[in-house]
Structure 1
Amino acid sequence: MAKYAWYTRLSDTLHRLTVLTLVGGSLYMTGGLIYTLYMNGRRYEKQVTAPNAQQPEGTPNADDKKPATPAQ
């Protein structure tokens, strides 16, 4: 096996650490993003499908759709 100069070995080590840090950090951040999107989607779905979900103000609800009774 050929013996490399110290600066070549140092350069190779720094390059490997840099690549591993970038790849590992990217995978970590991607995993965190996917997890956050998934959990927010579940929370939103639960909020929308809840039976007693509050409607935003100004949105017509079932009471507003009833026909007005004529005054007698």
Structure 2
Amino acid sequence: MPHVDMLFNHLQKRNIDSVFIAGITQRFTHSIQAIRDRDHVPSLVENEEYREPVQEPPPKKRRAMGEETQQHLAIEV
């Protein structure tokens, strides 16, 4: 997106002040809002076909150690 590239390049300059930053970010915001107003782009959240169910991570399985293994590990530590 060229607007993002231009904003990024302006913000990377060494000789900038807070007034310049406020102006350039305001212009960026207005440009993006104009694009949104002109071209209604549906968000991915609005479309059911793109919405994925939230899945919980699978529970971690723990293996029980035998007494012999526990003793061996205790000796190594």
TM-score (norm 2): 0.33
Scaled by the length of structure 1, what TM-score is found? 0.35
**Which of the two has higher C-alpha Rg?**
1
The answer to which structure, 1 or 2, has the higher relative contact order (CA under 8 A, 6+ apart) is 2
